[in-house]
C-alpha cells in the first residue's frame, strides 16, 4: 500500500525516469558476437590450431602390419553404448566423433567429423557443430545433422546411465540444415558441455533406428578408420583399416591409424595371456603387474633381443585404484568403521614383498598431477571449504582441513600400531567382541565379501584380508565371471569391490556420476561407493562451472580433500608410468604425447617384422 501511494505522489518523476530508461535502452550495448573456430578448448588455448599435424605424429609413418593386443573375459555385443551385453574390445576404432582430443593439452578439441564450431563466448547455452561435407559413412553416404541428432537421442534415452548423466545438461539437439546441428543446453553454466558433445561416436540414423538396442556382433554403421573384419566368438576380434576412410587428411589424423589390422585375442586370465604373449599370439602388452614387469620377461624371445620394455611417463593423474566400500551396506555406514578398514591395508609390506618396490601409495584422487591436494588447505582452498564444513560429520570435517595421510608400516608384516588404532575406531563405532568374533552395534556379525572377477588380484587381497581377520572381521573373497560381475555392479549388489577411477587433467561433469548423490541411486552409474554428500555435490557443481584453469585446479583440490576425508574407499597403489612390453617391431615418434602413450600414432617397422616372423615360424 505504501509503495502504491508513493508512486501516485511521484507521477511526474516516474514519467521522467521511464523516459530516461527508454532513451538508455535505445543506445546500442556492446555484446560479444558468436564466433566460428576450428578448435576449441575448455579454459585452454588450442596450441596446434595452425599445425599441419600433431607434434607426436609422424606424417611419414608407413602403413601396414598388425597391432595385436589381448583382452580378458568374453564378449557378446558390438555396441558398448547400450545397457545390456558385454561389448567387444576396440569398438572405438569403428567410429569418428565430432571433435577429437589433443593428447598434449588439457581438454582441447580439434576437427574430426565437424570441421568447425560456432558459439557465443557470452552465452554458452548453445553451440553449433558444422559437419564436414566430406565426411562419409562406410557405405559412402554423407554424415549429416540427422545422424547426429539420432545418435544423441539414442544416447540420452537408451544409453548407459553414466552416459546419460554425463550428457544430462543437453536440453535438445536441433537440425539447422544438412550439415549444421545445434546443441541447446539447460543452462550456460556448464561450459564443458560445448566440448563434451563433441566426444561421442556418431552412428548412422538408419542403423540406430533398427539396431541400437539389439544384442548383436554386427556394429552400428560408422564412419571410422576401421571396419570390423573378423570375429571368432569368444576368442578374438579383428578390425581392418578402411583404405577409403574419408578422414585420412584431417589434421589430427595425419600420421595416425597406421596399422592395417588391429586384433584383440581373448584369454581367460592375465596369467594365460602372458603365456600367449611369450609365444607371439599377440605382440603388444600393457603390463599392470610390477612382479611380472620385473620377473616375467626372461624367455627365449626376450633373450634373443626381440622383446622391448618401456616405462612411459605421462602427466595425467594416476587412476585411483581402490577397495570400494559400499555405503549402502550397514556395515560401512559409520566413517569410523571405514577408517578402521583402511588401516588394515599394509601397503609397505605389499610393495616390498609383492611389487618389488615399483609402486607408490595413492594418497590423492589426482595423484601425480597439479590437481592433487597436498599439506593443509591453502587460503583459497579454505575459503571454498569453510561454508561447507558444517555439512560434514566431525571426523570428515577435521580430516578435510588437516594434512591428510594414510597409516604407514615398517613393511615387516605386522602393522601393530595401525591395527590398534583400527580396533579403537571399531569400539568407538559401537562394534564389540564376543567369543573372539567382532559384531556390529546392532548385534550382527561383522562380515563382508570382496567381489572380484580377475583372480590375479587375490594375492594382493590376502594380506589385507588377514589383517581384517586380526581385527575380528569375517571376510571372504568371491570370484565371479565377467558377465555376472558387471550385472552385480549395475545393481550395486556387493559389499566391497576393487575399482579404478581414471582422471584427466581437466575434470568436470564425469565427477558427478562417480561421486554425486544423484548417481548413488541410479543403477548402472559409477558411484560404486554410494556417496551422498552435499558438500561434495556443491564442489562438483563449482568444478563443472569453473571458467578458468585456476578454478579447475582449486576445486579439484577441494574435491580431493573431501573424498579422502570421507574414507569411502581404501586407496591402493599406482605408478606415474605406463609400462608396455612389445615384440620389437613397433615404433613411435621420438616425442610421445604428455597424457597418453598414443598407440594410434605408432607404426610397424616392416624389416623388423620380417625378422620376428622368421623367428616365430
| Predicted confidence band of residue 234 (pLDDT cuts 50, 70, 90) | confident
DSSP one-letter string for 551-576: HHHHHHHHHHHHHHHTT-EEE-EE-S
Q: How far apart are CA 200 and CA 214, in angstroms?
A: 19
Per-residue pLDDT tens digits for 6-55: 233 333 333 333 333 333 333 333 456 899 999 999 878 899 999 999 99
- Which pLDDT does position 32 carry in this prediction? 62
Per-residue pLDDT tens digits for 387-399: 999 999 999 999 9
Highest mean pLDDT among 85-89, 176-180, 486-490: 176-180
Per-residue pLDDT tens digits for 348-386: 999 999 898 999 999 999 999 999 999 999 999 999 999
Give me the phi and psi of 539, to 5 degrees please: -70, -40
Closest CA to 512 of 533, 497, 481, 484: 533
Query: Looking at residues 276-295, what average pLDDT do you find?
Result: 94
Q: Within the chain, which residue ranges are assigned CATH 3.10.105.10? A: 320-574
Regarding beta strands 474-479 and 447-452, do their DSSP bridges make them parallel or antiparallel, or are they unpaired? parallel
- Which pLDDT does position 562 carry in this prediction? 98
Q: What is the pTM of this model?
A: 0.79
Per-residue pLDDT tens digits for 145-162: 999 999 999 999 999 888
Element (H, E) at 535: helix 534-545
Instruction: Classify each residue of 74-85 as buried b or exposed e, where b means 16 or more C-beta atoms within 10 Å of its C-beta.
Output: ebebbbbbbeeb
Mean pLDDT of the chain: 91
CATH homologous superfamily of domain 320-574?
A: Dipeptide-binding Protein; Domain 3 (3.10.105.10)
Question: Is 376 in a helix, a strand, or coil?
Answer: coil
- Which pLDDT does position 19 carry in this prediction? 30
Distances (CA, A) of 556 to 397, 492, 511, 608: 17, 26, 10, 45
Question: Is 499 in a helix, a strand, or coil?
Answer: strand
Contact 602, 573 (CB under 8 A): no
User: Does domain 226-316+576-616 bear CATH number 3.20.20.30?
Assistant: no
- Which pLDDT does position 253 carry in this prediction? 97
- Which pLDDT does position 16 carry in this prediction? 37
Q: Within the chain, which residue ranges are assigned CATH 3.40.190.10? A: 226-316+576-616
Distances (CA, A) of 404 to 160, 375, 384, 564, 566: 35, 7, 18, 8, 11
DSSP one-letter string for 444-486: -B-EEEEEES-GGGHHHHHHHHHHHHHTT-EEEEEE--HHHHH
Element (H, E) at 209: helix 205-211
Dmax (CA) of the chain: 103
Q: How far apart are CA 586 and CA 68, in angstroms?
A: 11
481's CB contacts (< 8 A; 6+ apart) are 73, 74, 453
- Which pLDDT does position 21 carry in this prediction? 35
Amino acid at each position: 500500500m505504501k509503495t502504491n501511494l508513493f508512486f501516485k505522489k511521484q507521477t511526474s518523476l516516474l514519467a521522467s525516469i521511464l523516459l530516461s530508461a527508454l532513451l538508455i535502452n535505445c543506445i546500442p550495448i556492446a555484446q560479444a558476437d558468436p564466433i566460428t573456430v576450428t578448435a576449441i578448448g575448455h579454459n585452454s588455448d588450442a596450441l596446434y590450431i595452425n599445425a599441419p599435424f600433431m607434434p607426436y605424429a609422424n606424417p611419414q609413418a608407413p602403413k601396414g602390419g598388425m597391432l595385436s593386443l589381448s583382452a580378458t573375459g568374453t564378449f557378446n555385443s558390438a555396441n558398448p553404448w547400450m545397457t545390456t551385453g558385454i561389448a567387444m574390445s576396440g569398438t572405438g576404432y569403428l567410429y569418428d566423433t565430432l571433435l577429437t582430443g589433443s593428447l598434449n593439452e588439457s581438454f582441447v578439441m580439434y576437427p574430426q567429423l565437424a570441421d568447425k564450431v560456432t558459439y557465443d563466448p557470452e552465452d554458452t547455452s548453445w553451440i553449433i557443430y558444422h559437419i564436414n561435407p566430406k565426411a562419409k559413412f562406410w557405405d559412402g553416404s554423407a554424415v549429416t545433422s540427422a545422424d547426429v541428432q539420432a545418435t544423441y537421442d539414442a544416447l540420452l534415452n537408451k544409453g548407459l546411465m553414466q552416459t546419460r548423466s554425463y550428457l544430462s545438461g543437453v536440453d535438445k539437439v536441433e537440425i539447422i540444415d544438412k550439415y549444421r546441428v545445434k546443441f541447446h543446453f539447460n543452462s550456460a553454466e556448464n561450459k564443458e558441455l560445448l566440448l563434451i558433445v563433441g566426444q561421442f561416436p556418431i552412428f548412422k540414423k538408419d542403423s540406430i533406428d533398427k539396431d541400437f538396442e539389439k544384442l548383436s556382433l554386427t556394429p552400428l554403421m560408422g564412419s571410422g578408420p576401421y571396419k570390423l573384419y573378423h570375429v571368432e566368438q569368444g576368442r578374438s576380434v579383428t578390425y581392418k583399416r578402411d583404405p577409403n576412410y574419408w578422414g585420412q587428411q584431417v589434421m589430427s589424423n595425419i600420421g595416425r591409424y597406421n596399422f592395417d589390422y588391429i586384433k584383440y585375442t581373448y584369454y581367460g586370465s592375465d596369467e594365460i595371456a602372458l603365456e600367449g604373449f611369450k609365444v607371439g599370439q599377440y605382440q603388444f602388452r600393457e603390463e599392470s603387474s610390477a612382479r611380472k614387469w620385473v620377473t616375467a620377461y626372461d624367455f627365449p624371445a626376450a633373450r634373443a633381443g626381440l622383446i622391448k620394455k618401456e616405462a612411459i611417463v605421462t602427466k595425467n593423474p594416476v587412476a585411483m585404484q581402490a577397495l570400494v566400500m559400499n555405503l549402502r551396506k550397514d556395515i560401512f555406514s559409520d566413517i569410523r568403521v571405514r577408517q578402521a578398514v583402511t588401516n588394515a591395508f599394509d601397503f609397505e609390506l605389499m610393495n616390498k614383498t609383492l611389487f618389488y618396490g615399483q609402486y607408490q601409495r595413492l594418497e590423492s584422487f589426482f595423484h601425480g598431477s597439479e590437481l592433487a591436494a597436498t599439506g593443509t588447505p591453502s587460503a583459497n582452498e579454505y575459503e571454498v571449504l569453510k561454508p561447507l564444513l558444517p555439512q560434514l560429520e566431525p571426523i570428515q570435517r577435521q580430516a578435510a582441513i588437516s594434512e591428510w595421510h594414510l597409516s604407514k608400516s615398517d613393511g615387516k608384516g605386522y602393522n601393530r600400531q595401525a591395527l590398534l588404532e583400527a580396533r579403537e575406531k571399531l569400539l568407538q563405532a559401537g562394534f564389540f567382541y564376543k567369543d573372539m568374533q567382532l559384531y556390529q552395534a546392532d548385534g550382527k556379525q561383522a562380515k563382508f565379501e570382496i567381489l572380484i572377477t580377475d583372480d590375479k588380484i587375490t594375492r594382493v587381497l590376502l594380506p589385507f584380508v588377514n589383517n581384517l581377520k586380526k581385527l575380528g572381521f569375517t571376510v571372504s573373497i568371491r570370484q565371479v565371471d565377467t558377465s555376472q560381475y558387471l550385472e552385480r555392479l549395475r545393481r550395486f549388489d556387493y559389499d566391497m569391490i576393487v575399482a579404478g577411477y581414471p582422471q584427466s587433467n581437466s575434470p568436470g561433469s564425469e565427477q558427478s556420476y562417480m561421486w554425486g548423490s544423484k548417481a548413488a541411486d541410479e543403477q548402472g552409474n559409477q558411484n560404486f561407493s554410494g556417496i551422498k554428500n552435499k558438500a561434495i555435490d556443491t564442489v562438483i557443481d563449482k568444478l563443472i562451472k569453473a571458467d578458468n584453469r585456476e578454478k579447475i585446479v582449486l576445486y579439484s583440490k577441494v574435491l580431493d580433500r573431501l573424498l579422502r576425508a570421507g574414507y569411502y574407499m581404501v586407496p591402493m597403489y599406482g605408478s606415474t608410468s605406463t609400462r608396455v612390453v612389445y615384440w620389437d617391431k613397433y615404433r613411435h615418434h621420438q616425442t610421445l604425447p604428455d597424457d597418453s602413450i598414443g598407440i594410434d600414432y605408432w607404426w610397424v617397422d616392416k624389416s623388423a617384422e620380417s625378422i620376428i616372423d622368421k623367428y616365430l615360424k
